[in-house]
A = this chain, B = another copy of it.
Amino acid sequence: MTVWEGKRFTVTVEDGYEIARTPDAVAIVALDGDGRFVLVRQRRPAADAELLELPAGLVDDGEAPLETAKRELREETGLQGGTWRELAGFWSSPGFVDEYVTVFAADALDEGEPDLDEGEELEVVRWTRAEVEARVGELRDATTLVGLLLFLRSR
């Protein structure tokens, strides 16, 4: 039963379990043409903090997650083209949220112009692999940690 309905998410109660229902999400471990990791820094009101994260976004109805990932990466950073593979899939907080996140890895990306949504403000930050290896533990977003840690193990 739906007990609250917003624009970003909805709340249902099923068999006594309160569940926050949200579109599925994607995130991208993106490497530019120089092999640098491309991250985005943005203010997150829910965390009351500015977080450095993988480029990410929500899957539109009927959209394949890989298409979402390519669209969001291009909108947020301008990066496009490149070689893509699926890296991981997981629930972000399955105790009460139905959000499933698919993380892709993309490398050898070409530069382009970002195309941010109205009101979207973010700073693009690029880290070398050595910086990621040294500083991954400083990051504070679960999806970003999973994506980068799995990527580092994969090669």
Which chain A residues have a beta carbon within 8 Å of chain B's beta carbons? 3-4, 6-9, 11, 13-15, 17-20, 22, 25, 44-49, 51, 53, 56, 88-101, 137, 139-143, 145-146, 149-150, 152-153
A93 and B99 in contact (CB under 8 A), knowing A15-B45, A146-B145?
A: yes
A–B complex contacts, Cβ < 8 Å, 18 sampled: A4-B4, A8-B17, A8-B95, A9-B96, A15-B45, A20-B96, A44-B95, A46-B93, A46-B94, A46-B98, A47-B91, A47-B94, A49-B94, A90-B139, A90-B142, A92-B142, A93-B142, A94-B141
State A99–B94 Cα separation when bound (angstroms): 12
Interchain CB contact under 8 A, B96 and A8: yes
Interchain CB contact under 8 A, A46 and B17: yes
The 3 closest A-B pairs by CB, nearest first: A149-B149, A4-B4, A47-B94
Nearest opposing residue in chain B for A51, CB measure: B94
State A71–B128 Cα separation when bound (angstroms): 41
Interchain CB contact under 8 A, B18 and A8: yes
- 7 additional A-B residue pairs with CB within 8 Å, beyond A46-B91, A47-B98: A6-B13, A19-B46, A48-B98, A88-B137, A90-B139, A145-B146, A149-B153
What residues of chain B lie closer than 8 Å to A4, measured between beta carbons?
A: 3-4, 11
Interface centre among A56, A88, A141 (most CB of B within 10 A): A141
